Amino acid sequence: MKTDLFFYTGTGNSLWTARTVANELGNAELIPMLWATGNPIQSQADTIGIIFPVHIWGLPQQVITFVNSLAIDTSKYYFALAVNAGQVAATLLQLKKLMKSRGLFLSSGFDIFMPSNYIPWGGPGPEDKRMRRINDAKKKINKISSMIAEKERRPVEKGPLWQNILFSWFYKFSFPYIPTMDKSFWVDDKCNTCSICKKICPCGNIDLNAGKPIWLHHCEQCLACIQWCPKEAIQYGKRTPRYERYHHPEVTLEDIITISRKPSRSGKEEAILQNRKSST
Ligand SMILES: Cc1cc2nc3c(=O)[nH]c(=O)nc-3n(C[C@H](O)[C@H](O)[C@H](O)COP(=O)(O)O)c2cc1C
């Protein structure tokens, strides 16, 4: 079985999830969604994984764009991993519906519970609790990998009914405003003009003015800029100066910089495509 794992990530939880499942399955290639080229996007693999963070109880724009560009091939096995911080809600149902509208069948979809990167609501929580979530996620990935390898068909995982109804409404309501939610970002005087924020933004939404970031209002709210700023100089609203930053402990800034750029067929691209690092 050959598997292509298409992933999107802001702070590395989804990249780590993709690496971990690649390790379990073997013969799997990691491909950032941003790099997926071709119209439509073709794959030689017989199994396709779609791995992404849940944003505002639904699919991030980049995942929608990716699915809408995917070649229609009904002979493949499609599965998804929705990486979240405790409220997957109806995200996988949304994905299943979107895929169905394109003639694709999502055979399985799993909820992967990881630390939160949604800093406007607070930090990621105590380290022992974060590590417990990561270890539990690893156990779950180990368990579901055999279902994926067996190409099992099963209902996608979802939240309780009230959450699916209420939060799907919030998602629909807020989705059009996401690109301009970057109006709440600002930079404090710790900024040393290193320009890392511009390099890691996956949607080219950051420009520099005298070396400092300005946001261009086509944001996808992945929060990579605020979470990866080495000086913690980027803020969002009033409260983030006192909140701890988060990224997955086994994902590096270099990993994120590499995948945030469209490939140039360079050594770095090869490195990440071969990326089957252990998640130990
Ligand atoms: C804009 C935004 C919205 C989010 N909304 C949700 C949500 O609705 N439910 C949830 O459980 N987690 C939510 N999260 C948390 C992320 O899904 C979670 O931390 C995920 O593991 C981050 O993955 P990444 O590191 O690959 O970006 C949100 C995060 C962001 C940045």
Residue positions counted in the chain: 280
Q: How far is the CA of 178 from the centre of ligand 1 (A)?
A: 14
Q: What mean pLDDT is predicted for residues 107-114? A: 98
56 lines ligand 1 (CB under 6 A): yes
* 153-170 tens-digit pLDDT: 999 999 999 999 999 999
The full set of domains in the chain, from first to last, is: 3-165+268-273 (3.40.50.360), 175-263 (3.30.70.20)
Which ligand 1 atom is the nearest neighbour of the CA of 17? 26
Q: How far is the CA of 267 from the centre of ligand 1 (A)?
A: 31
Per the structure block, which two tokens stand in for 10? 């802001």
> Dihedral of the CA atoms 56, 60, 64, 70 (nearest 10)?
-140
pLDDT surpassing 50 at residue 269 = no
SS3 124: coil
Q: How far is the CA of 223 from the centre of ligand 1 (A)?
A: 9
- Which residues are bridge partners to 186 per DSSP? 235
* 210-221 tens-digit pLDDT: 999 999 999 999
Q: What is the 3-state secondary structure (H, E, C) of 88-122?
A: CCCHHHHHHHHHHHCCCCEEEEEEEECCCCCHHHC
* 53-103 tens-digit pLDDT: 999 999 999 999 999 999 999 999 999 999 999 999 999 999 999 999 999
62 lines ligand 1 (CB under 6 A): no
Spacing of C-alpha 133 from chain mean position: 17
54 lines ligand 1 (CB under 6 A): yes
Residues 78, 88: Cα–Cα separation, whole Å: 19
Which pLDDT does position 148 carry in this prediction? 98
Per-residue confidence band for 264, with pLDDT thresholds at 50, 70 and 90: low
Q: What mean pLDDT is predicted for residues 115-143? A: 97
Residues 149, 147: Cα–Cα separation, whole Å: 5
